[in-house]
Amino acid sequence: MQLFGLNLSPFYERVVIGLELKGASDKVEFGGLPHAFGTPEIMAASPTGKIPYFVTDSGDVLIEGQVILEYVDGVLDGPDLLPEDSDAAANAKLLARIYDMYVIPALGPVLMALIFQKRNDEAIENAMKEALPKALDLLNTCMSKVGTRAVGDDWTIADAALIPMVFQLDVFARQFGYTGFGDRANINAWWDSIKDTDTVKNSHERMMTVLKKMQANAG
């Protein structure tokens, strides 16, 4: 099995986190980014031309980080990242989906400005004043109110999806006035309980390493 992409991508990084949580990192080959975005080679490798993409042992290609994460969770040995309880499993999937459907689009103008040098000040202002606060409010409302993880006390696909989010907020959104989770008690409790874990430290170090390399190459 092979995983292709870059750790700065939150969709790629969630899969890496999931593999680490399962103790299965050695079961997958990390292929990096063999071809530039938009090139014929990457379009041939990934149906969308985007990362991450994943090649199974049978040669099938999977796309979309959450789909890949749930696939490796199902086929590899290690702690299950999708709870057995149906309600808890639905909640874990919901939190990952809220990040993908609401938080990431809200962060879009910020990421475009800082990563791709395409700045739209009006869009950034709207993101910071309207879209991002609303997205985080929704995430806070749906996050578990008990336990030490996003859903209960065990690591789940929700934690794997949300850990890269905090890196994006701290490193990118902060440059445009983001100052933390405010009075969003559920998100704060979740983050306080995991921020000093090796899982978080390893993830954010990987993301920062890629960011610094990209900045050095751009300079």
Fold (topology level) of 86-218:
Glutathione S-transferase Yfyf (Class Pi); Chain A, domain 2 (1.20.1050)
Question: To the nearest whole number, what is the mean pLDDT of the chain?
Answer: 93
pLDDT of residue 171: 95
Dist CA 47 CA 60 (whole Å): 12
pLDDT band of 217, cuts 50, 70, 90: confident
pLDDT tens per residue across span 200-212: 999 999 999 999 9
Average pLDDT over residues 155-178: 96
CATH of domain 2-75: 3.40.30.10
List the domain boundaries for the chain: 2-75, 86-218
For residues 96 and 40, the answer to whether their CB atoms sit within 8 Å is: no
pLDDT tens per residue across span 87-116: 999 999 999 999 999 999 999 999 999 888
For residues 68 and 76, the answer to whether their CB atoms sit within 8 Å is: no
For residues 72 and 28, the answer to whether their CB atoms sit within 8 Å is: yes
pLDDT of residue 216: 85
pLDDT band of 40, cuts 50, 70, 90: confident
pLDDT of residue 141: 96
For residues 56 and 1, the answer to whether their CB atoms sit within 8 Å is: yes
Average pLDDT over residues 53-79: 96
Dist CA 51 CA 40 (whole Å): 14
Residue 2 main-chain phi, psi, to 5 deg: -135, 140
Q: Do the domains 2-75 and 86-218 sit in the same CATH topology, yes or no?
A: no
Instruction: Say which range, 22-26, 36-40, 53-57, 88-92, has the weakest mean pLDDT.
Output: 36-40
pLDDT of residue 219: 63
pLDDT tens per residue across span 116-136: 889 999 999 999 999 999 999
